[in-house]
């Protein structure tokens, strides 16, 4: 069994991944030693109900990721946090500085470093009349087109379309 760059070993199978890996670990698969990577998965719960069903499902998903032995997880719930709507002022595009991603100073300030430290984001939201929750909408709108997000997207092969 041959691992190529960007592959992750789960049990006795190889799963291809576009994530940037942070920690290498030697594991034995069958009779062959291969190098496996550890990823950091950040779960964001967009439910307004702390400890509700959406959070329970997200916790189960994160626990399953950790059970593989190749992931470290963290959970952030948006319930009760002060995350303002995006004002579409384009400050994040034109004036962003290192460590300051948005002109607004609210609870997103403390969430940005966790996002930057993650290899993968797992977003969970209840569905309200066919759309995500207001908490999750505000969160995703505030991610903006930061230079670090654009760089990360290019590394992953994602293309941004900006009108």
What confidence score (pLDDT) does residue 146 get? 54
What confidence score (pLDDT) does residue 40 get? 92
Distance CA 109, CA 106 (A): 6
The boundaries of the domain holding residue 51 are 38-156
What confidence score (pLDDT) does residue 98 get? 78
**Do the beta carbons of residue 45 and residue 76 sit within 8 Å?**
yes
Q: What are residue 50's phi and psi, to 5 degrees?
A: -70, 130
Answer whether residue 77 is part of any domain.
yes
CB-based contacts of 120, cutoff 8 Å, min separation 6: 19, 39, 40, 41, 42
Mean pLDDT by 10 residues, the chain (163 residues): 44 36 47 66 95 95 92 96 92 80 92 90 90 92 67 53 38
Answer whether residue 43 is part of any domain.
yes
Quote the number of domains for the chain.
1
CATH number for 120 = 3.40.50.360
What confidence score (pLDDT) does residue 157 get? 52
Q: Token pair of 65, please?
A: 């990721």
How far does the chain reach from its first CA to its final CA, in angstroms? Answer: 45
Distance CA 109, CA 63 (A): 26
The CA angle 39-40-42, to the nearest 5 degrees, is 140
Answer whether residue 13 is part of any domain.
no
Predicted model pTM: 0.69
């Amino acid at each position: 069994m041959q691992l190529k760059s960007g592959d992750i070993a789960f049990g006795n199978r190889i799963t291809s991944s576009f994530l940037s890996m942070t920690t290498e670990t030697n594991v034995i698969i069958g009779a062959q030693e291969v190098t496996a990577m550890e990823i950091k998965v950040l779960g964001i719960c967009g439910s307004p109900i702390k400890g509700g069903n959406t959070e329970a499902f997200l916790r189960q998903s994160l626990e399953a990721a950790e059970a593989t032995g190749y992931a470290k997880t963290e959970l952030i719930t948006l319930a009760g946090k002060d995350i303002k709507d995006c004002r579409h002022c384009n400050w994040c595009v034109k004036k962003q500085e290192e460590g300051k991603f948005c002109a607004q100073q609210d609870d997103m300030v403390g969430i940005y470093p966790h996002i930057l430290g993650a290899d993968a984001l797992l977003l969970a939201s209840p569905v309200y009349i066919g759309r995500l929750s207001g908490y999750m909408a505000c969160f995703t709108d505030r991610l903006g087109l930061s230079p670090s997000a654009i760089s990360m997207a290019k590394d992953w092969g994602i293309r941004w379309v900006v009108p």
